[in-house]
Amino acid sequence: MRRLTAILMMFILTLSLVSCGGQGEGDVYVDTTWHMDTYFSYLLYGRKAEKVFNELEEIVKNAEQVFDCYSADSEIYAVNEEDEDGYKEISRELFEVLERALSGYSRSDGAFDPTVGRLVSLWGFGTDDPSVPSDEDIKEALQHVGGSDVHLKQVDGRYYVSKPEGMMLDFGGIAKGYTLTLIARKLADSKLTDAVISVGGNVLLYGDRKFSVGIRRPSKDALDPVCTFSLSRCVVSTTGSYERFFVENGVQYCHIIDSKTGQSVNGDMVSLSVVMSDAAEADLWSTAYFVKGMDAALEAMRIGELEGVILTEDNRILCSEGLAEKLEEGSVAEGWTWEVVARES
C-alpha cells in the first residue's frame, strides 16, 4: 500500500512539476517503474512513444545487471566479491561506466570517488541500522579506498579491471546519471520529439519543449518546490543531505562521504542541483561539489564552470547567473531568500 501511495505521489509530482508548452506530435506516454532502488518516471512525446518506453526499460534493466552495486545479480557485485589482485575480464558496458567514474575521480581531485564502498558500508548507509564508526574502523576502511588504485586495460577488444583486494566499488553517485546518458542516446535515435525522464534526483529533459522543473524543498517528505525553472535540453541532478541520513547524539549524518577523511559530509549546503548537458556528468559533479563544499561550488559558479543552485540550512537559494535567467517569475516559495551568484568576468 505504501509502495502504491509512493508511486501515485511520484506520478503526481512529475505531472505537477513538469508542465509543457507548445504542441507535440503523436502520442504521449506516461509511466513509472522501479529500478536501482528508486523510481524511473517517464513522460514521452512523439510517435510510438510506448514502444520507445519499452526499449528504454530494456536499457535500464541491462544497466541494472551491469553496474547496480546493490543488486546481488549484477556484474559489479561479482567484481566486488572477487578477492584476488590482478586483472579480471569485464564487459564493455562495465568498462565504460568505470572509465567515466575514474575520469570523474581525477577531474574532481578525488571528491567524487567510486571506490568509497567500504566507507559507505562501514557507516551502514543502505542498511536499517547506520551509525557513526570508530576512528580505528574509519582508518582501516580508508586503506581500501582510492580511485587511483583502480586500473583499466583493453586488449584485443577485451576489457579488464584491476582493483586491490578488499576494495569496494560504489556507483551510487553515478549509476542513475549514467543510465540516463544511455537513455538519452537511445532517445536521439528515436522519433520522439520531447521527453522528461526523472530518476531519483536526476531529471533528463529531451527535445526543444520547455518544461517547468522544481527544486524540491529539502525535507524528507516534502514534495513542493522552493522555486521552479523553465528548462529544455539539459539534465538537472541534485545531491542533498535531507533524504538519506541518520541522527546520532543530535548530529545529522548524510550518505555522502569524503573519501579523503572517511567522514560523512557536513557542510552548509542542504542540497546542490547542477545543470549540465550530460546526465552522468551532472550526477557525478553534483556529488563531487557536495563533497568539495559550498565555497568551492560558489567559486565554480563565479568563474562560469558550474550552473546550478544551492539551498542552505538557513533557507537561502544561491543560484548561478546562467540558471537564474530561467527562474519562473513568482516561483520562489515563501520563507526563502533568492540570491544570484554573479559571474566574474
**Position 104 contacts Mg ion (CB under 5 A):** no
In whole angstroms, how close is the CB of 284 to Mg ion at the nearest point?
A: 6
Structure letter (DSSP) for residue 264 = B
Among 74, 239, 271, 273, binds ligand ADP (CB under 6 A): 239
Among 46, 114, 225, 262, binds ligand ADP (CB under 6 A): 114
Rounded Cα–Cα distance for residues 93 and 103 (Å): 16
Among 108, 287, 312, 320, binds Mg ion (CB under 5 A): 287
Which amino acid is located at 99 in the chain?
E
Among 227, 291, 296, 318, binds ligand ADP (CB under 6 A): 291
**Position 120 contacts ligand ADP (CB under 6 A):** yes
**Position 308 contacts Mg ion (CB under 5 A):** no
Cα angle 124, 170, 291 (rounded to 5 degrees) comes to 80
Stretch that binds Mg ion, among 222-230, 233-241, 317-325, 326-334 (CB under 5 A): 233-241
Rounded Cα–Cα distance for residues 282 and 178 (Å): 9
Pure H helices in the chain: 2-17, 49-67, 75-81, 92-107, 117-123, 135-142, 175-188, 279-292, 294-302, 321-324
Rounded Cα–Cα distance for residues 135 and 263 (Å): 10
Residue least distant from ligand ADP (Cβ): 172
Measured from the CB atom, the residue of 163 and 255 that comes closer to ligand ADP is 255
Among 80, 190, 212, 259, binds ligand ADP (CB under 6 A): 259
Which amino acid is located at 270 in the chain?
V
Fill in the per-residue mask, 54 to 93: x = in contact with ligand ADP (CB under 6 A), - = not in contact.
----------------------------------------
Residue 51's CB is within 10 A of a number of other CB atoms, namely 14
Residues 195, 187 contacting (CB under 8 angstroms)? yes
**Position 264 contacts Mg ion (CB under 5 A):** no
Size of the site for ligand ADP (CB under 6 A): 22
Q: Sign of the C-alpha dihedral, residues 168, 169, 175, 179?
A: negative
In whole angstroms, how close is the CB of 126 to ligand ADP at the nearest point?
A: 7
Here the contacts of 67-72 (C-beta below 8 Å, separation 24 or greater) are 67/93, 67/94, 67/97, 67/171, 67/175, 67/178, 68/35, 68/36, 68/171, 68/175, 69/117, 69/168, 69/169, 69/170, 69/171, 69/172, 69/175, 70/36, 70/37, 70/126, 70/172, 71/36
**Position 36 contacts ligand ADP (CB under 6 A):** no
Among 101, 283, 317, 326, binds Mg ion (CB under 5 A): 283
**Position 259 contacts Mg ion (CB under 5 A):** no
Among 184, 256, 270, 279, binds ligand ADP (CB under 6 A): 256
* Chain residues that interact with Mg ion, rule: CB under 5 A: 173, 239, 283, 286-287
Q: List residues near ligand ADP by CB under 6 A.
A: 112-114, 116, 120, 125, 170, 172-173, 200-201, 239, 243-244, 255-257, 259, 283, 286-287, 291
